[in-house]
Structure 1
Amino acid sequence: MFDFVRSHSRWLQLGLLALILPSFVVFGVQGYSSMTDGANASVAEVDGHKITQAEWDARVQQQAERLRAQMPDLDPKLLDGPQAREEALKALVDARVLQTATDTLRLTALGDERLQRLFTQDPQMAAFRNADGSLNKDLLAAQGMSSAALAGQLRRDYLLRQVQGGIAGTALVPAAVADRGLDAVLQRRAVQFTRLAVQDQAGRVNPTDAELTAYFDAHRNDFRTPEQAEVQYVVLQLDALKQGLSVSEDELRKYYDENAARYTAAEERRARHILITADKDAAADVKAKAKARAEELLAEARKNPAGFADLAKKHSQDPGSAANGGDLDFFGRGAMVKPFEDAAFALKPGEISPVIQSDFGFHIIQLEAVRGGQKQAFEAVRAQIEDEVRKQLATRRWAEAAEQFSNTVYEQSDSLQPVADKLKLTVQTATVGRQAAAGAQGALASAKLLAAIYGDEALKNKRNTDAIEIGPNQLAAARVVRHQPAAQRPLEQVRDVVRQAVALQQAKDVTAKAAAALLAQVKAQPTLALASGATIARNQPGDLPREAVLAILAADARQLPAATAVALADGSWLVARITEVLPRAVPAEQAQALQAQVRAAWGRAEADAYLEALKTRFHVSLSDKAKAVAQAAAASAAAAR
């Protein structure tokens, strides 16, 4: 049947077209609507207004692009996993809740002047500011944003901050609470302790055959051989196409000439300036007075050009550059306000400009140096040009190569060698399960490809999978060579492993009983000697494991000595006696800084609590799909711990 379909595919396509067309005429509109229903489906609601699947997907993509830019080697599976999707939806819900709150509270958008003031003062915006406080348009363009888009985003962000900022910034933290917060980190306790190692008990237990059988029966799934498939696979990607292309010297030189601007270093200028401030909306007499003062300083500067830096230190009103003698370092076009830029780029090194007026006031500029503007030699950029030309040619050829790849793996489905020969690809081999293995990369990390490998056509009939898109400009296809189903291993085959597991559990039980007995003894005999002693704090754990430190610091120390016992991660136990609570060992200034951090954390906690209250007030609800993703994210986080 399958071979018949392949042999008569053209006739079957015509027949299917004849069947589809009448149906589309009758049901076309409804069918089209159903295609858009998925994107418009509600995944959450805030105050009766829905957040759609399309919005959620877009947020996940934006989040992935941002993380990929920050961490290029990040595992791709993490970018679209349950935790990433839950985080993206939470951010959408939080933003929508805060937006609803701003509407309800009738908070007004920021005016231009206040927005400018916040922009120049906000540390998070430092990267977008030039030395004179103006907008760094080059960096903004690199982010794919316009100045209007940035202003709109800032207005929204600052407006949303008002909702929580009033809570976080005004949180009242009692001194006693701040003090307890410091104790959680800095309190020191003198302890005596004995560690009961589980390994010491391992040789004292001897599981019976009945115990081994009972354990095996209760954990059968732990002793199954996993399902596996040995596969061959091929990958078509843009980089592979690039390597197979040849480019002539004439083509490279033509590209160099046509893109000369790209290989010419942008001209930059280094200048000093003296600024006499005058707001653009200031009264005429105020501006006139500022200009007159600037003219006076200009006359002084021209009398003694070598003393320009000293003059700027004494008289410039630019807080960012005055202390450095007005030095603005090197800057390119677009970095400064237009009147300043035009004047600076019209000067020759050593020249001093006339008084220049901008929105900030009146400037006097002295040009220090000029650099850039030179074109790089062809030989210096030849390798870069060749890579760019190859990439462009490969991109143009990609659609054709992708079609050849898809058609060949389908039409010659009993082998991957034909497509490898046609497109000069390498047939690779691997052993895979239904889920990607830890650390898997590329095609072997693709859930779509693994699903196709374990589909009936590939698994049972050993046919090639269809061409699967595993990433941008990346296609893969695979063929199952051998399939090994999951199988139960008999007890006799795994008896040694079972014996080790049962012996370890019994040793843990014996150790726990010994710890309980020792704890009772320590409580009854306050002078009973323990093996070791130490002084510990949360930030000074010494040689003790984290769980032991936390348990000792959590123990009630109002009546000393106090005893406690804690189970360690490997099944061992530690029995400890707290003999003394010691004062903090930090300088007063560090304690004050830490108290400020405690207050800030308290403020953030109150802001988060306020946000949760707003979610209740504005009736946030999640769809079943969103709840399932949240449950999967929680399970994934628990497994990671």
Structure 2
Amino acid sequence: MLQKLRDRSSGWVATIIIGLLMIPFLFVVDQSYLGGMGANNVAQVKAPPTWWEGAPKWWPASMLWEHREVGVNEFRQRFEQERMRQRQEQGDDFDPRAFETVENKRKVLDQLIDETILQLAAERAGVVVGDAAVREYIATIPAFQVDGRFDANTYQLALASQVPARTPMQFEQLVRESLQQSLVPLAVGTSAFVTDAEFDRILRLSGEKRDVELALLPAAVEDDAAVGDDEIQAWYDAHPGDFTRPEAVTIEYVEVDGNRLQVAAPADEAALRKRYEEERARFVEPEQRLASHILIRVEPDADAATLKAAEDKARRLADEAAASGADFAALARAHSEDPGSRDDGGELGWVERGMMVGPFEEALFAMQPGEVRGPVKTDFGFHVLQLRELKQGAQVEFEQVREDLAREQAQVDRERAYSELTGRLTDLVYQNPSSLAPAAEQVGLQVQTLGPFTRQDTIGIGASPDVKRAAFSEVLIEDGTASDPIELGPDHSVVIRVIEHVPEQPRPLAEVRDQVIAAIRADRTGKAAAAAADALVERLRAGEALSVVAASVDADVMPLPGLPRGVPVPSPAANRGIFAAPAPAEGQASAGRFEMPDGRYVVFTVTGVHPGNPEELQPEQREMVRRQFEQVDGAAAAEAYVRELRKGFQVVVEESQL
């Protein structure tokens, strides 16, 4: 039952209520359009006349049926909406070509068909949405609000900016139809409820724990028996997807690397001197002070008495250190609580501005050589400072920094050259995007070729995820045009163009014969391991103890008392298998087996079952969980309603239009 609830809470149908009500908002955001009928259709929904719901489908009575079409344009635009949604959701992991599957197209088409059926059913049932309900719903759409309130100007501007633009009347009709088709499934979904008995049963199941014993079986002996030609051919034919040559592309590209660019000429002496004078303040040696200190440490949360005692001690040490002939280093070794400098007599070395905390630095840089000052309060405690020596800051001469200035200027020149070259290359490529050679020739760069390579290969610039994403993109493959510049690193980019694309294709049997044989033998080995595990399970079910059965195959028994449901131990699949086993009868064990990710099997026995206790939930938690289950049941009820409703209509799909 819990697995059924999980299944019902996934997939698009589980959110049909919210999805249908959000259609107008999605249309606003994604710039879809007002659907309509047309001759170029991908599907057609046929409904019997309201006065003869049992009308036969055969000619000529079918002429009495009502028809609604799902147009090709409607389908394509909805499919693009789904593409955009998945691209935003998956980010860099989105694969546009993998998205173009028949399964994805049918999912989108089924949504459109269900919406058409709901619209037809609502109209035939006489469901009407009043003007007040339409206006009320539009006012709740965030795209039309300013500071949380509906704004008429924002509403009209938003509609006018759509492609195609809509009038308020057109949009209101769209909202009316969307609400009309969602009212019944919404009512069905919100009418769901869970009885007390059912809810308690769910809680007992979801909170269940089991006492389990496991035995990991040895790996099966690998099969090495001969494999016949007929078996090889049959396996190859039955598993075409396992023996394919992956999709590959060959690209041409032009690379711009700023680190390899040669600047026209190095900066001359005058230019470097000018830059030195303009940035003279950069080239000043900072003032340095040779300092020592004694720290009386105080914790940040110390009380007033502790602070006073520490301050008094620091003041006494400062007075003693300032006395004629006092040995500051000896006082630091005896009293300082700074483990980093205490053994060195409080030595801190040469200190520049910015190296110490504010109060410490402010006091130190106000002192004169030979002066002792304290106490100075910081977050660490109270300090006694001694300034031993002073080095005044001095201007660094041009000759000392000339090489640094020359390197900096060369880097600036390379960056400027890279930017100009990249911009010129891009402009030329845009003028003729079907070939890189003319643009490369004009800027003096070389067109290089890479490939063929697959999505899994990491060769050359193809190792870059951005290059690979562009090379396998639908646009570059189908159009054969150049990409925008793709950044590989700082001042390093490429422009690429796909010159050859080889789609995924089957590899001939002769080429993969050894792989097929290996697959057959692996399958035999797996089946033999499963059969051996099944035989042990039968022995357990016949009454043998797990310790005896495990010992017979040289396996150890591992107990797992109190294993909770849903915990991925030993693995998610294993947990599901353990809790799918029937509860053991009195004085007996319930046996089963499951496969581990490495292909080895585990046999287990369930020796005890401990249901969850519904009384452990607090009232507010109980109500919250109950609402969640009701929402899951409501989504399942709405799904069932749409599924049953669809049976009363005839749906014709034109597969060639997908």
Query: Could you report, residue by residue, the CA deviation over 1:75-106 in whole angstroms, capped at 9, with x for unpaired residues?
Result: 33355443443333222212211211221122
The separation in 2 between residues aligned to 1:425 and 1:57, in whole angstroms, is: 41
Equivalent position of 2:44 in the other structure? 45
Query: Could you report, residue by residue, the CA deviation over 1:356-377 in whole angstroms, capped at 9, with x for unpaired residues?
Result: xxxxxxxxxxxxxxxxxxxxxx
Deviation at 1:432, TM superposition (A): 3.7
> Residues 92-491 of structure 1: matches in 2 within 5 Å?
92-112=112-132, 114-115=133-134, 117-118=136-137, 125=141, 129-130=145-146, 133-135=149-151, 144=161, 148=168, 151-183=172-204, 185-197=206-218, 200-201=219-220, 204-205=221-222, 207-208=224-225, 210-211=226-227, 226=245, 231-234=250-253, 404-406=432-434, 409=435, 417-418=437-438, 420-422=440-442, 427-432=447-452, 441-446=468-473, 467-468=480-481, 478-479=498-499
Contact kept, 8 Å, 1:99 with 1:160, in 2: the verdict is yes
Q: Which of these residues, 577, 585, 595, is aligned with residue 559 of structure 1?
A: 585
TM-score, with structure 2 as normaliser: 0.49
Equivalent position of 1:596 in the other structure? 627
Contact kept, 8 Å, 2:249 with 2:472, in 1: the verdict is no
Question: 2:548 matched to 1:523?
Answer: no
> Residues 611-630 of structure 1: matches in 2 within 5 Å?
611-625=642-656
The separation in 2 between residues aligned to 1:205 and 1:507, in whole angstroms, is: 6
Contact kept, 8 Å, 1:565 with 1:574, in 2: the verdict is yes
The separation in 1 between residues aligned to 2:82 and 2:110, in whole angstroms, is: 12
Q: Which of these residues, 533, 540, 561, is aligned with residue 567 of structure 2?
A: 540
Aligned residue identity for 1:571: G
The separation in 2 between residues aligned to 1:442 and 1:69, in whole angstroms, is: 15
Aligned residue identity for 1:44: A
Change (3 A) 1:498 1:134: closer
Contact kept, 8 Å, 2:188 with 2:638, in 1: the verdict is yes
Contact kept, 8 Å, 1:60 with 1:80, in 2: the verdict is no
Deviation at 1:109, TM superposition (A): 2.0
The separation in 2 between residues aligned to 1:428 and 1:40, in whole angstroms, is: 49
Change (3 A) 1:129 1:430: same
The separation in 2 between residues aligned to 1:425 and 1:71, in whole angstroms, is: 36
The separation in 1 between residues aligned to 2:102 and 2:154, in whole angstroms, is: 36
Contact kept, 8 Å, 1:170 with 1:603, in 2: the verdict is yes
Deviation at 1:187, TM superposition (A): 2.4
Change (3 A) 1:235 1:64: farther
The separation in 2 between residues aligned to 1:578 and 1:481, in whole angstroms, is: 55
Aligned residue identity for 2:526: K
Contact kept, 8 Å, 2:43 with 2:652, in 1: the verdict is yes
Change (3 A) 1:488 1:184: same
Change (3 A) 1:550 1:109: same
Query: Could you report, residue by residue, the CA deviation over 1:145-170 in whole angstroms, capped at 9, with x for unpaired residues?
Result: 68936655443333322121121111
The separation in 2 between residues aligned to 1:426 and 1:442, in whole angstroms, is: 23
Equivalent position of 1:587 in the other structure? 617
Aligned residue identity for 1:108: V
Deviation at 1:430, TM superposition (A): 3.2
Query: Could you report, residue by residue, the CA deviation over 1:375-420 in whole angstroms, capped at 9, with x for unpaired residues?
Result: xxxxxxxxxxxxxxx9xx99xx98x9656444xx5xxxxxx63454
The separation in 2 between residues aligned to 1:172 and 1:140, in whole angstroms, is: 41
The separation in 2 between residues aligned to 1:167 and 1:481, in whole angstroms, is: 50
The separation in 2 between residues aligned to 1:482 and 1:611, in whole angstroms, is: 42
What is the RMSD computed on CA atoms of the aligned residues? Answer: 4.9
Contact kept, 8 Å, 1:223 with 1:489, in 2: the verdict is no
Contact kept, 8 Å, 2:581 with 2:592, in 1: the verdict is yes
Contact kept, 8 Å, 2:142 with 2:148, in 1: the verdict is no
Report the 3-state secondary structure (helix = DSSP H, G, I; strand = E; otherwise coil) of the residue aligned with 2:605: strand
Query: Could you report, residue by residue, the CA deviation over 1:540-581 in whole angstroms, capped at 9, with x for unpaired residues?
Result: 34x221222112222222635322223345432222212222
The separation in 1 between residues aligned to 2:117 and 2:176, in whole angstroms, is: 17
Report the 3-state secondary structure (helix = DSSP H, G, I; strand = E; otherwise coil) of the residue aligned with 1:109: coil
Contact kept, 8 Å, 1:235 with 1:425, in 2: the verdict is yes
Equivalent position of 2:378 in the other structure? none
Contact kept, 8 Å, 1:469 with 1:476, in 2: the verdict is yes
Query: Could you report, residue by residue, the CA deviation over 1:305-363 in whole angstroms, capped at 9, with x for unpaired residues?
Result: xxxxxxxxxxxxxxxxxxxxxxxxxxxxxxxxxxxxxxxxxxxxxxxxxxxxxxxxxxx
The separation in 2 between residues aligned to 1:156 and 1:424, in whole angstroms, is: 61
The separation in 1 between residues aligned to 2:100 and 2:249, in whole angstroms, is: 27
The separation in 2 between residues aligned to 1:66 and 1:558, in whole angstroms, is: 48
The separation in 2 between residues aligned to 1:191 and 1:58, in whole angstroms, is: 53
Deviation at 1:488, TM superposition (A): 5.3
Change (3 A) 1:109 1:228: closer
Contact kept, 8 Å, 2:248 with 2:502, in 1: the verdict is yes
Q: Please state which structure has a larger fraction of its residues in helix.
A: 1
Change (3 A) 1:428 1:151: farther
Deviation at 1:600, TM superposition (A): 1.5
Larger radius of gyration: 2
TM-score, with structure 1 as normaliser: 0.51
Change (3 A) 1:546 1:162: same
Contact kept, 8 Å, 2:566 with 2:572, in 1: the verdict is no
Question: 2:109 matched to 1:89?
Answer: yes
Contact kept, 8 Å, 2:471 with 2:498, in 1: the verdict is no
Contact kept, 8 Å, 1:537 with 1:553, in 2: the verdict is no
Contact kept, 8 Å, 1:228 with 1:486, in 2: the verdict is no
Query: Could you report, residue by residue, the CA deviation over 1:581-610 in whole angstroms, capped at 9, with x for unpaired residues?
Result: 212165244344323222221111111111
Change (3 A) 1:117 1:54: closer
Deviation at 1:192, TM superposition (A): 1.6
Contact kept, 8 Å, 1:192 with 1:532, in 2: the verdict is yes
Report the 3-state secondary structure (helix = DSSP H, G, I; strand = E; otherwise coil) of the residue aligned with 2:607: strand
> Please, which runs of 5 or more residues in structure 2 have no aligned partner?
1-37, 47-66, 256-419, 458-464, 485-494, 551-556
> Residues 564-583 of structure 1: matches in 2 within 5 Å?
564-583=592-611
> Residues 483-502 of structure 1: matches in 2 within 5 Å?
501=519
Change (3 A) 1:138 1:600: same
The separation in 2 between residues aligned to 1:516 and 1:68, in whole angstroms, is: 45
Contact kept, 8 Å, 1:235 with 1:477, in 2: the verdict is no
Aligned residue identity for 1:82: V
Equivalent position of 2:527 in the other structure? 509
Contact kept, 8 Å, 1:228 with 1:431, in 2: the verdict is no
The separation in 2 between residues aligned to 1:533 and 1:567, in whole angstroms, is: 18
Report the 3-state secondary structure (helix = DSSP H, G, I; strand = E; otherwise coil) of the residue aligned with 2:150: coil
Deviation at 1:448, TM superposition (A): 7.3
- Count of residues in correspondence between the two structures: 398
The separation in 1 between residues aligned to 2:205 and 2:604, in whole angstroms, is: 19
Aligned residue identity for 1:614: L
Contact kept, 8 Å, 1:231 with 1:429, in 2: the verdict is yes
Query: Could you report, residue by residue, the CA deviation over 1:458-498 in whole angstroms, capped at 9, with x for unpaired residues?
Result: xxxxxxxx845889xxx975546999x9875869x986x67
Aligned residue identity for 2:437: Q
Contact kept, 8 Å, 2:235 with 2:520, in 1: the verdict is no
Identity of aligned residues (%): 21
Report the 3-state secondary structure (helix = DSSP H, G, I; strand = E; otherwise coil) of the residue aligned with 2:592: strand
Report the 3-state secondary structure (helix = DSSP H, G, I; strand = E; otherwise coil) of the residue aligned with 2:628: helix
Aligned residue identity for 1:107: V
